């Protein structure tokens, strides 16, 4: 599709009209707010969906392991629940991201691709170490319970915190730090309890983050 072919030079004379400074300040604030909102894929609704997905996903695993004595690890049914919830989360983020960044090109696109590749490697490393722990004779409770849930979330939290700090995005830094704290604290709940603790903890953290996003949007919208 041609972007600007055949547009001519038909500038509306009314658009050349100068502004009163007060009106200009209002238009500037309003335009900035709209642009930032339009270009940012994050939203309170996305956080709410993530909170529900984490509660359902980790809850499904917890339901599948809570009656196991001795602990054997998540059942196929539990894993299907977790993977379905994770897929919903990933699909919703991809949809929102594509919508927000439509028409955007440049360095940030390449930076995001590099960050995605680094995160994928880090997550693969978590599962390689999990295999090494199983090979070394670690118990199922450690390998398929405490380690896999905590290590995955700590990697995601560390990645998010580093990314947020580099962008001076303090609410996201708070979210990522909270994810790491939930993951490390939940590790003390044991191989069965870790799943429930992670699910509830992440749900609360994401709901708090979503509420903060909604409040900030409302506040900046009122200012604009």
Partner 1 sequence: MSAAGIDPVIHVPARLQIVATLAALPEGDALSFTRLQNMIGLTPGNLITHLRKLEDVDYVTIEKTGSGPASRTAVALTHRGHAALDLYTETLRGLLNGL
3-class DSSP state of 134: helix
Nearest residue (CB) to partner 1, 69 versus 107: 107
* Sign, CA torsion 106/108/32/167: negative
Nearest residue (CB) to partner 1, 66 versus 217: 217
In angstroms, give the least distance from the CB of 107 to partner 1: 4
Residues 55 and 205: their CA atoms lie apart, in Å, by 11
Site string for partner 1, 100-139 (x = CB under 8 A): --xxxxxxxx------------------------------
With binding defined as CB under 8 A, does residue 168 bind partner 1? no
In angstroms, give the least distance from the CB of 115 to partner 1: 13
With binding defined as CB under 8 A, does residue 38 bind partner 1? yes
* Sign, CA torsion 33/39/40/41: positive
What are the φ and ψ backbone dihedral angles of 58, each rounded to 5 degrees? -70, -35
Residues 87 and 217: their CA atoms lie apart, in Å, by 27
Q: Do residues 213 and 44 make contact, with C-beta atoms less than 8 angstroms apart? A: yes
Which one of residues 34, 98, 216, 218 is an interface residue with partner 1 (CB under 8 A)?
A: 34
Q: What is the DSSP letter of 188?
A: G
With binding defined as CB under 8 A, does residue 16 bind partner 1? yes
Which window, 29-37, 57-65, 119-127, 143-151, contacts partner 1 (CB under 8 A)? 29-37
Q: Establish how many alpha carbons lie within 13 A of residue 197's alpha carbon, considering only the half-sphere containing its beta carbon.
A: 21
In angstroms, give the least distance from the CB of 2 to partner 1: 5
Residues 121 and 44: their CA atoms lie apart, in Å, by 29
In angstroms, give the least distance from the CB of 18 to partner 1: 6
Which one of residues 7, 67, 69, 70 is an interface residue with partner 1 (CB under 8 A)?
A: 7
For binding to partner 1 (CB under 8 A), which residues are involved?
Answer: 1-5, 7-12, 15-22, 24-25, 27-28, 31-32, 34-36, 38-39, 102-109
């Amino acid at each position: 599709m041609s972007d600007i072919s055949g547009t001519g030079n038909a500038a509306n004379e009314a658009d050349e009209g100068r502004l009163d400074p007060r009106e200009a300040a209002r238009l500037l604030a309003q335009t900035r707010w709209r642009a930032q909102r339009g270009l940012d894929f994050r939203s309170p609704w996305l956080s709410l969906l993530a909170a529900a997905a984490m509660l359902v996903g980790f809850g499904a695993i917890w339901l599948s392991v809570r009656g196991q004595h001795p602990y054997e690890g998540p059942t196929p049914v539990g894993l299907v629940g977790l993977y379905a919830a994770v897929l919903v989360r990933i699909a919703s983020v991809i949809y929102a991201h594509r919508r927000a960044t439509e028409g955007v090109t440049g360095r940030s696109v390449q930076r995001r691709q590099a960050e995605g590749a680094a995160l994928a490697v880090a997550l693969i490393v978590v599962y390689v170490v999990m295999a090494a722990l199983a090979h070394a004779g670690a118990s199922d409770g450690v390998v398929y319970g405490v380690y896999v849930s905590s290590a995955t979330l700590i990697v995601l939290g560390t990645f998010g915190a580093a990314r947020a700090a580099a962008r001076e995005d303090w609410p996201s830094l708070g979210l990522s730090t909270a994810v790491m704290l939930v993951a490390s604290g939940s590790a003390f709940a044991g191989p069965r309890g870790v799943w429930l603790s992670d699910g509830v903890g992440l749900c609360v953290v994401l709901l708090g983050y979503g509420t903060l996003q909604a409040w900030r949007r409302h506040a900046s919208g009122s200012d604009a």
